[in-house]
């Protein structure tokens, strides 16, 4: 295992997969369960290339490299500090041949990489509209949570352009924006194919939704059985333990 000097306020977290670790700064932004669940929902087949839009500290490309036989993974991140942590985590895990981290703007992604360049797109985008809810005073966290640097429309439009015909887009988001998400996908030539709702407890409303859309696919969507996070307070269900790799 390589070693990397951590910068001020950074920490090294164990991902419980292939011995991989990730560098994070709790004062900026750390990945959450939504990113891990997306990595368990998305599929990258042998020989495919994947791009993660808004990769943060690189959690999804690193987890997908651990879980799948995809040929190559790229993470696009607008914030310099997060992109730097992601790049150092890639090096730390010896994944330079499989993962690239690029600092850049999602709104310009198709111009940056070229149309039809990827088989798979993933994204854990900002959930909240720029005028929705209380923004975090920490700009790094605010950009990750609110549509300050990009909108849902930007993410879907660029993802659709970046996908080859038949390519797949995987997203995690909030159920209250599901109608908008599905409408945006279909407006950009992508048919929703799978939906999976995530519930904190078996008797609670969902607080996340996982969506798969296919570029140029036929209209037919499957609503999968829901994912329950906790079987009792503080105790994960077996499915969650499996996704996390415990």
Please answer whether residues 46 and 37 qualify as being in contact, where contact means their C-beta atoms are separated by less than 8 angstroms: no
Token pair, residue 210, equals 């996982």
What is the pLDDT at residue 128? 58
153/158 Cα distance (integer angstroms):
8
Helical ranges in 51-177 per DSSP H: 59-67, 80-92, 109-113, 139-145, 152-162
From residue 153, give the alpha-carbon distance in Å to each of 74, 129, 220: 21, 11, 22
What is the pLDDT at residue 73? 98
Mean pLDDT by 10 residues, the chain (246 residues): 82 91 90 94 97 96 96 96 95 96 96 97 77 54 54 94 98 95 97 98 96 95 97 94 84
What is the pLDDT at residue 58? 96
What is the pLDDT at residue 62? 97
The correct answer on CATH 2.70.98.10 for the domain covering 11-244 is: no
Please answer whether residues 86 and 57 qualify as being in contact, where contact means their C-beta atoms are separated by less than 8 angstroms: yes
What is the pLDDT at residue 49? 98
Whether pTM > 0.85 for this model: the answer is: yes
What is the pLDDT at residue 143? 47
């Amino acid at each position: 295992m390589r070693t990397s000097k951590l910068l001020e306020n950074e920490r090294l977290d164990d991902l419980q997969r292939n011995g991989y670790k990730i560098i994070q700064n709790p004062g900026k932004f750390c990945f959450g369960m939504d990113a891990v669940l997306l990595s368990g929902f998305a599929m990258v087949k042998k020989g495919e290339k994947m791009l993660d839009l808004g990769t943060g500290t690189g959690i999804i490309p690193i987890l997908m490299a651990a879980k799948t036989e995809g040929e190559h993974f790229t993470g696009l991140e607008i914030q310099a500090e997060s992109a730097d942590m992601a790049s150092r985590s890639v090096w730390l895990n010896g994944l330079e041949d499989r993962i690239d981290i690029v600092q850049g703007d999602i709104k310009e992604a198709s111009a940056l990489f070229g149309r039809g360049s990827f088989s798979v797109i993933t994204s854990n985008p900002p959930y909240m509209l720029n005028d929705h809810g209380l923004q975090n005073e920490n700009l790094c966290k605010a950009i990750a949570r609110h549509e300050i640097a990009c909108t849902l429309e930007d993410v879907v439009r660029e993802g659709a352009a970046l996908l080859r015909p038949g390519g797949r887009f995987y997203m995690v988001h909030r159920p209250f924006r599901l109608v908008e998400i599905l409408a945006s996908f279909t407006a950009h030539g992508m048919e929703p194919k799978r939906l999976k709702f995530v519930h904190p407890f078996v008797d609670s409303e969902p607080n996340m939704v996982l969506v798969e859309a296919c570029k140029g696919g036929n209209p037919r969507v499957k609503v999968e059985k829901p994912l329950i996070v906790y079987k009792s307070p503080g105790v994960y269900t077996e499915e969650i333990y499996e996704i996390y790799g415990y």
